[in-house]
Amino acid sequence: MGKKSFGFLILGVLLAGYIYEPLPDNVEEPWKIMLLNTFLKTSSYLAQFAEILGLNHFMKSMTFFSSFQYSPPTSDENITVKDTTFNDIPVRVYVPQQKTKSLRRGLFYIHGGGWSLGSNDYYTYDLLSRWTADRLDAVVISTNYRLAPKYHFPVQFEDVYTALKWFLDPQILESYGVDPGRIGVSGDSAGGNLAAAVAQRLLEDPDVKIKLKVQSLIYPALQNFDFNLPSYQENAHYPVLSKSLMVRFWSEYFTTDRSLKKAMLSNQHIPLESSHLFKFVNWSSLLPEKFKKGYIYKTPTHGSSELAKKYPGILDVKASPLLADDSKLRGLPLTYVITCQYDVLRDDGLMYVTRLQNSGVRVIHNHIEGAFHGTLSFLFTKVGYRAADQYINWLHENL
């Protein structure tokens, strides 16, 4: 073997070692997940390197690496697609081309990305919205919102609520031919967080007369109180969304002050005077037995009151919808929750399912075995396609 061939062999072995990721046996098409994870971890390493050198903020670099996903607002033979604004908030609107004499369903969708990344014009969100609009014969509003690190809580929440409230105006609904009795809100990950938060807020807003028929929460982030849930421990280092990255997203939602991330990683960020709120996120009483996996509940160590005073959003129900008391949950609409087996956010969704059911809310829970966080964005995988199909079918039957 020549030196050149030997060099290529060594390079191939190193590359294979970099790409390879040991995955659980029940993961379908593991090579696709490995390739996806290779891109994600390479982007993350480069973004971390740029941040260490002081060249760019981590999230800004990650936004740059994700920008290739841009998809223009292109109409086709089935759907008219248009970028516009709802009360100055950018939205992308999908309207079926086929004429109808009856009013259509309306779905308000909120993209994910840890309140720091993502856009409604990413290819996967654009494709999912097209499929939804076409198969449901529905008007789909896919909203954007201002992102961290430039903007922090509650800006993201307020942007989404402003756009949703604009859409729910009877005159706006009439202009789009939407049935005011058949409107839903949906979102994935951080978008699922925002969807849950705005659905709760609508119940308290006397200016909004139109009620949501459904809410659909796709692997939502619903609390920042306890980062030692079984799902955080079990899936801390799995592909797509590690515990460290999720905690970074949460801390960036509130501030660029890295001391908050450090406190969150050690689960020492909630002050003693707010300890009564832990009952709303106590997984020992809210998780089904099969998801406890032998883990032992430990009451989180209380943190400094100074952090909560500087960043009160960490105690705000608009940031952590699981903190809502039962009386606030009772008025929520029919709910669909998707959770994934290998996802740090799995138990957030599971606890919300339990709390909603305990409050008398009708809930359909779709737990996807062998799946990772972000599955509905991985439409190139069998499990991702099935999950999207199930999601749209549920909306078709219930919205």
Catalytic sites, residue numbers? 189, 343, 373
Q: Which amino acid is at 312?
A: P
Distance CA 173, CA 306 (A): 45
Please report the DSSP string for 299-364 in residue order: PPPPB-HHHHHH-GGGG-TTT-GGGS-HHHHTT--EEEEEEEEE-TTHHHHHHHHHHHHHTT--EE
Beta partners for residue 215, in sequence order:
185, 335
Between CA 65 and CA 69, with CA 67 as vertex, the angle to 5 degrees is 110
Which structure tokens are listed for 115? 């309140």
Q: Which residues contact 127 (CB under 8 A, 6 or more apart)?
A: 71, 379
Query: What is the rounded distance in angstroms from the CA atom of residue 257 to the CA atom of residue 129?
Result: 35
Q: Write out the two tokens for 398.
A: 């219930």
| Backbone φ, ψ for residue 211 (5° rounding) | -100, 145
Q: Do residues 56 and 107 lie in contact, with contact meaning Cβ atoms separated by under 8 Å?
A: no
Instruction: Tell which residue, 222, 364, 218, 229, has the closest CA to residue 285.
Output: 229
Residue type, 370: G
Query: Token digits for 188?
Result: 């994935």
